[in-house]
Amino acid sequence: MKMKFLIIISILLFPNYIFADPIAKRGLGDIKKSSKIVQKTLADISNSNKILDKFNSIKSSSEKILNTTEVQRYRGGGNIYKKNKNKVALIMNPTSETIGAGSLLDMRGNIITNWHVIEGAKDGVVAVAFEGTDLDTIIDGKKYVIGKVILVNKEKDLAVVNIQKIPGGTRPVSLGRWSNINVGDTVHVIGHPQGLLWTYAQGVVSAKRSKSPWNYENSNHVADVIQHQTPISQGNSGGALFDEKGNLLGINTFLLPGGQNLNFAVAVEHA
């Protein structure tokens, strides 16, 4: 009995000494080791979260790039053509038996083209079409309307043709600005080169030339012109030069035959 009492007193007074070895044997070292493992695991989790956050950031940036690419693709040549094809007219001069192009300016039926496209037209009358696969189909099927020349600016090689009836679904072009044109900008052309109706081409602005002179066999002209290297040929005269947003920048007018891709459009501000 006395012995048991002494043991109890010892436990109460010196607990650490009594249980030091048993506790050590029961895993204090293992607990410290486990604690380090837990800390390392937590650190690994933290690093994993940082990596995950970085991945999500990269993913978000990638999605933005893809979305921007999609926007640029949508604004590309195919969309410009689709949006503006039916705004570009075929103009046939029955007197000179030549063709050119023009762009619908408003819902009153006014179409901007070149003076040399309608030059010599008897009584200022021309034929105008907004769709068709070839000239024979348009002429034989009478898929055209009569247009009347109502305004001429010979110096700038421009003319306005008016039609009384606009085909259903046809809308005017949107107008751009000379001040917004920069060298290197992508531009788009719709016209009828060599009778290949409603042909599309793409190029870039090479220069902006203010009060630039040029001449034909029997006439002299001067205007602000946009030099570009988009391929054009006979039949493109009077046709549209569009920017990346589909705005009309100029009226394709002439080229320098002695060079390569030296093409010029009269600025739309003159229209």
Tokens 């898929």 belong to: 143
How, if at all, do strands 174-175 and 247-255 pair? parallel
Catalytic, out of 192, 206, 237, 243: 237
Catalytic, out of 116, 188, 221, 228: 116
How, if at all, do strands 219-228 and 263-267 pair? antiparallel
Catalytic annotation present for 237: yes
User: Are residues 104 and 163 in contact, defined by beta-carbon separation less than 8 angstroms?
Assistant: no
Catalytic annotation present for 60: no
Catalytic, out of 157, 188, 224, 243: 157
Q: Enumerate long-range contacts of 76-79, CB under 8 Å, 24 or more apart.
A: 77/188, 77/200, 77/202, 79/246
Catalytic annotation present for 136: no
* Distances 189 to 22, 108, 202 between C-alpha atoms, Å: 93, 24, 6
Catalytic annotation, residues: 116, 157, 237
